[in-house]
Amino acid sequence: MTLRQMFEPSAVAVVGASKTEGKIGYEAMANASEFDGAVYPVNPSTDGELFGASFVDSVTDIDDDVDLALCCVPGPATPDVLEECGEAGIGAAVIYAGGFAEAGPEGEELQAAVVETADEYGISLLGPNTSGFVVPATDLLCSFASGAEKVPPGNTAVIAQSGGVAHVLAFQSRRQGRGVSAMVGLGNRANVGFTETIEYFDADDRTDAIVLHVEGTDDGRGLLEACRASDTPVVAYKVGQSDVGEFAESHTGALTGDHELYTAGFAQYGVPTVDATDDLLDAAAALGDSPEPDGPNVGVVTAQAGPGIIITDRIQRAGGRLPELTQETRDRIDDVLPGLTYTGNPVDTGRPMPEFGDVVTAVAEDDTVDIVLVYELFEQALGFPVEALDGLAERVDKPVLFATDGIEEDMAEDVAALSDVGVPLFETPERAADAAAVLARYAEMHTLAGAGEVVADE
Amino acid sequence: MTLRQMFEPSAVAVVGASKTEGKIGYEAMANASEFDGAVYPVNPSTDGELFGASFVDSVTDIDDDVDLALCCVPGPATPDVLEECGEAGIGAAVIYAGGFAEAGPEGEELQAAVVETADEYGISLLGPNTSGFVVPATDLLCSFASGAEKVPPGNTAVIAQSGGVAHVLAFQSRRQGRGVSAMVGLGNRANVGFTETIEYFDADDRTDAIVLHVEGTDDGRGLLEACRASDTPVVAYKVGQSDVGEFAESHTGALTGDHELYTAGFAQYGVPTVDATDDLLDAAAALGDSPEPDGPNVGVVTAQAGPGIIITDRIQRAGGRLPELTQETRDRIDDVLPGLTYTGNPVDTGRPMPEFGDVVTAVAEDDTVDIVLVYELFEQALGFPVEALDGLAERVDKPVLFATDGIEEDMAEDVAALSDVGVPLFETPERAADAAAVLARYAEMHTLAGAGEVVADE
């Protein structure tokens, strides 16, 4: 199965398109019509036009090479719609409706019928019971949620078991100034699940990191194998440490399963795990926007001691290490700034100063350091050391993360400048430290443990 | 000792004021001059005016009732400056300079000398080694950091051991749309520490919640007693679970101490603890903007199942409970929305809908529920249930928290409307759940354990 027809369709049909605002068939058509290619509203009981396109009665009536059908019809009508899609040669479909495997025995039967038809015709099914997906770079908005059109393009692929969480992550990534290469809500995973989407986005040129939101799956082995096979870094957020079984089952038809088993499995297969939506996107930014780290040793440069203590503490607790810097580096720093508050690791300059960038460079060039984390409160008169950070990560071939707090408008220009030169940015001392720790754990999984060689017993 | 002269001064003197931009004496004067009352630049080697005020040679030359001196002089000059402050009848001083107890034996001697002079004249000392404090409501900006003037007034008092972290928290509270009643960086705590500031802000009319950033203190008992005596809710963020001892000591002269002892001590004295700066401000918003919760039972209403699972899981892990709703409540919800996805706790409406507010009201009126948490992704056509939430917390006399994700500009008007009617708002499912769990723990500490009666052995 390829998901090319799903995520790179020639043309799109919206089955069950509606002229009534507020209905899913209207909202889905409104979003889909942003797409560059042709979009056909399909509804046998409606005539005329919608968003400039003429209604047709059936997908079999379309004289165009349609790859993707967005099914905005109730659950029971879905098998017939899919049958027509198959006849029309459509290779991918999104099923928004609920009432399938998540809703008890009758729903399970309905889902089995849908999968049978899909398999017969070779149709990739996203859903049922999903709010769909979005590919911002091509304005392919296959979600009925409002605001989907404003999620900016980025280099992180969001693959979430829950359509709601997929949207949470997409909206958060926008608020963080990042964006996504794609946002996918898997829902019931009738025949497109984690495995297929990880494979697709690993090969996607726009994607530099893949994040997973996982509630539970019957095919844990397949999920882990797909993660290991991915050249693109994968980070996972496994939900459900306490007992939320009954409610989770009613949601996407999956038990949340044993949290510790998942965490250990992910670690063994080279996937760092995190514990919150914002941490997931931070981890993706750290991994996707950086050279691959060679080890877990973090060099921290801070302009204020208090945040530096927070960062140091947190990195150490989360699996990173703060090595002693070489004497050469300490001497270099002493030359730049004689009598610093603290020249261990972290290096603490006491406050922002013109030489801050030189100190960062010295630490980044220290061979004992695998990952660099820089923190400073914004100081209007000095700004950020953009020149020193421009190209630094590539030159020293290690991740260089930057975090700050300040008045947003005052520092907007400097933040944009850092972003333009590709520096991964973080919002609080803790979130930056957590991202650095993810890089440290990722390095240990991929360089020391040789995760690629290990075969787990399950 | 009263801190009235510190935080409500009649007039302010800036000792060591300077005309040179970038110097602390200039930046401190620039910020201080925003104050409504008189501000006097003091420097024997400078003439003329600065920000419209004429230089004087010494605080003893000012013919006005000055309460507060901001000391922008080097450490060694501080004892003489304080002596003059004492002669001039000034009752409060901020010492920005470092080089005191945090810097070794000589600095300790210097600090002892300063404290002796202060005690002789009854001067309250903030610092040394601090970036100062800010009271936004009166434009009292006694910090030399840029951006301090843009921190908005709010109802949370930030008391941080580190001046840097005080600013981190103030800037974050602004980004979150909240603000502070005051932001205080304690630094070395020469004679003003946690105890004195907690007492002061407990009695402050503008303060509804107090948050503490704690690295370590020799007077743990005093800190805990002050927390217990406070009628205003206190939340603490104790930094330093791993070994950051040497670096921490170089910072504010305090060891970070034993983390678990602190956490247990705080719990016993009625203070919930959190583990990040943003969580600290979230907890303050939940406690400060809500009626006091009577118990740890959280009723969750969500419009999307995926975020609902995240919230449920996290509340349970952090010490909250999700009780079964009464049959009456379930019947009410069934009347409003027949055939809901899930009518347990959480109540899951499946997507935003016009009846969402009625469902929230039903859950809030359930007597088994002590705390209400509402989550929904923003949907443009529906907006938020502002009418249902307006006054709800007061009417049912329990906290009602609201969290959402969406496109910021699209939901700005609705977010402002919720904020205007006093609903505490949160940014992600996890942060809302963590805030609800803080309320749950707070309720257990203050209603069940009778924390006010317990005397701990230390």
Contact criterion met (CB < 8 Å) for B313 and A410: no
Find out whether A213 and A170 touch, Cβ atoms under 8 Å: no
- Residues A443, A301: one domain? yes
CA distance A287 to A276: 17
Q: How far B316 CA lies from chain A's nearest CA (Å)?
A: 7
Contact criterion met (CB < 8 Å) for A305 and B247: yes
**Residue A368, burial from CB neighbour count under 10 angstroms (0-12, 13-18, 19+):** middle
Q: How confident is the model at residue A218 (pLDDT cuts 50, 70, 90)?
A: confident
Q: Which residues of A touch B150 (CB under 8 A)?
A: 407, 410
Residues B158-179, mean pLDDT to the nearest whole number: 97
pLDDT value, residue B451: 42
Find out whether A7 and A68 touch, Cβ atoms under 8 Å: no
Angle between helices A277-288 and B429-443 (to 10 degrees): 140
What is this structure's pTM?
0.94
- Residues B284, B296: one domain? no
Residue A25 in domain:
yes
- Each residue's pLDDT tens digit, A267-280: 999 999 999 999 99
Contact criterion met (CB < 8 Å) for B410 and A165: no
For Cα atoms B114, B116, B121, give the angle at the middle one, nearest 5 degrees. Answer: 100
Q: How far A292 CA lies from chain B's nearest CA (Å)?
A: 26
Closest residue of A to B172, CA-based? A405
Residue B452 in domain:
no
Contact criterion met (CB < 8 Å) for B242 and A316: yes
- Each residue's pLDDT tens digit, B369-394: 999 999 999 998 899 999 999 999 99
pLDDT value, residue A457: 37
Long-range contacts of A48-56 (CB under 8 A, 24+ apart): A48/A19, A50/A17, A50/A19, A50/A26, A55/A17
Find out whether A34 and A139 touch, Cβ atoms under 8 Å: yes
Q: How confident is the model at residue B457 (pLDDT cuts 50, 70, 90)?
A: very low
Residues A118-143, mean pLDDT to the nearest whole number: 96
Report cis status (omega within 30 of 0) of the bond before A323.
no
| Residue whose C-alpha is closest to residue A375's, from A395, A347, A407 | A347
pLDDT value, residue B247: 67
Paired tokens of B225: 């007693």
Q: What percent of chain A has pLDDT over 90?
A: 86
Closest residue of B to A169, CA-based? B405
Find out whether A199 and A226 touch, Cβ atoms under 8 Å: yes
Q: List helix spans (H) across A218-320.
A: 220-229, 245-252, 259-268, 277-288, 305-317
Contact criterion met (CB < 8 Å) for A164 and B312: no
What CATH number has the domain bearing residue B204?
3.40.50.261
Last residue of a domain, one of B130, B163, B186: B130
Question: Which of A251, A276, A309 lies at the smallest CB-CB distance from B240?
Answer: A309
- Residues B420, B284: one domain? no
Closest residue of B to A319, CA-based? B242
Closest residue of B to A238, CA-based? B310
Contact criterion met (CB < 8 Å) for B405 and A304: no
Q: Which residues of A touch B342 (CB under 8 A)?
A: 247, 250-251
Residue A143 in domain:
no
Number of domains in chain B: 3
Closest residue of B to A21, CA-based? B381
Neighbours of A216 (CB within 10 A): 22
| Mean of the per-residue pLDDT values of chain B | 93
| Radius of gyration from C-alpha coordinates of chain B | 24
Q: Which residues of B touch A344 (CB under 8 A)?
A: 246-247
With a cut of 90, say whether residue B343 has pLDDT above it: no
Contact criterion met (CB < 8 Å) for A310 and B277: yes
Residue A453 in domain:
no
pLDDT value, residue A257: 63
| Mean of the per-residue pLDDT values of chain A | 93
Find out whether A95 and A190 touch, Cβ atoms under 8 Å: yes
Contact criterion met (CB < 8 Å) for A407 and B147: yes
Residue A105 in domain:
yes
| Residue whose C-alpha is closest to residue A429's, from A374, A378, A382, A385 | A374
- Residues A300, A436: one domain? yes
- Residues B113, B230: one domain? no
Question: Which of B251, B309, B346 lies at the smallest CB-CB distance from A306?
Answer: B251
Question: Which of B168, B305, B313 lies at the smallest CB-CB distance from A162?
Answer: B305
pLDDT value, residue A452: 44
Q: Which residues of B touch A244 (CB under 8 A)?
A: 309, 312-313, 316
- Residues B213, B84: one domain? no
With a cut of 80, say whether residue B274 has pLDDT above it: yes
With a cut of 80, say whether residue B445 has pLDDT above it: yes
Give the range of the structural domain holding residue A324, as residue numbers without chain letter.
292-447
- Residues A281, A346: one domain? no
Q: Which residues of B touch A380 (CB under 8 A)?
A: 146-147
Q: Which residues of A touch B350 (CB under 8 A)?
A: 98
Closest residue of A to B406, CA-based? A171
Helix H, strand E, coil C: the string for B129-154 is CCCEEEEHHHCEEEECCCCHHHCCEE
Cα dihedral B408/B395/B210/B307 (nearest 10):
-40
Closest residue of B to A255, CA-based? B309
Residue B245 in domain:
yes
Contact criterion met (CB < 8 Å) for A167 and B377: yes
Closest residue of A to B186, CA-based? A306
- Residues A81, A217: one domain? no
Residue partners of A209: CB distance under 8 A and separation at least 6: A155, A156, A157, A232, A233, A234, A235, A283, A284, A285, A287, A288
For Cα atoms A409, A413, A418, give the angle at the middle one, nearest 5 degrees. Answer: 125
Find out whether B215 and B251 touch, Cβ atoms under 8 Å: yes
Contact criterion met (CB < 8 Å) for A428 and B276: yes
The least confident of A43-52, A214-223, B113-122, B358-367 is: A214-223
- Each residue's pLDDT tens digit, B96-148: 999 999 888 999 999 999 999 999 999 999 999 999 999 999 999 999 888 99
Q: What percent of chain A has pLDDT over 70?
A: 93
What CATH number has the domain bearing residue A33?
3.40.50.720
- Each residue's pLDDT tens digit, A288-326: 999 999 999 999 999 999 999 999 999 999 989 999 999
Closest residue of B to A352, CA-based? B145
Q: Which helix (H) or strand (E) holds B312?
A: helix B305-317
The least confident of A27-36, A342-351, B307-316 is: A342-351
pLDDT value, residue B389: 98
Last residue of a domain, one of B271, B288, B305: B288
Q: Reduce the DSSP state of residue A374 to 3 states and report it.
A: strand
CA distance A222 to A229: 10
Residue B267 in domain:
yes
Residue A144 in domain:
no
Question: Which of B174, B247, B305 lies at the smallest CB-CB distance from A312?
Answer: B247
Written as one letter, the residue type at B248 is A
With a cut of 80, say whether residue B248 has pLDDT above it: no
Q: Which residues of A touch B427 (CB under 8 A)?
A: 175
Question: Which of A251, A305, A307 lies at the smallest CB-CB distance from B305?
Answer: A251
Residue partners of B252: CB distance under 8 A and separation at least 6: A305, A306, B102, B129, B161, B162, B186, B187, B188, B189, B215
For Cα atoms A27, A29, A33, give the angle at the middle one, nearest 5 degrees. Answer: 125
Q: Which residues of A touch B344 (CB under 8 A)?
A: 246-247
DSSP state, residue A149: G
pLDDT value, residue B146: 87
- Residues B426, B325: one domain? yes
- Each residue's pLDDT tens digit, A318-361: 989 999 999 999 999 999 988 765 678 999 998 889 999 999 99
- Residues A242, A224: one domain? yes
pLDDT value, residue B253: 55
φ/ψ of residue B53, rounded to 5: -115, 145
Q: Reduce the DSSP state of residue A10 to 3 states and report it.
A: coil
Half-sphere exposure at residue B23, Cβ-oriented, CA atoms within 13 angstroms = 15
Question: Which of A278, A309, A379 lies at the smallest CB-CB distance from B239?
Answer: A309
Find out whether B337 and B375 touch, Cβ atoms under 8 Å: no
Q: Which residues of A touch B104 (CB under 8 A)?
A: none
With a cut of 70, say whether residue A248 has pLDDT above it: no
Contact criterion met (CB < 8 Å) for A407 and B381: no
CA distance A215 to A228: 19
- Residues A86, A50: one domain? yes
- Residues A94, A124: one domain? yes
pLDDT value, residue B328: 95
Q: How far A423 CA lies from chain B's nearest CA (Å)?
A: 21
pLDDT value, residue B455: 39
Last residue of a domain, one of A264, A288, A312: A288
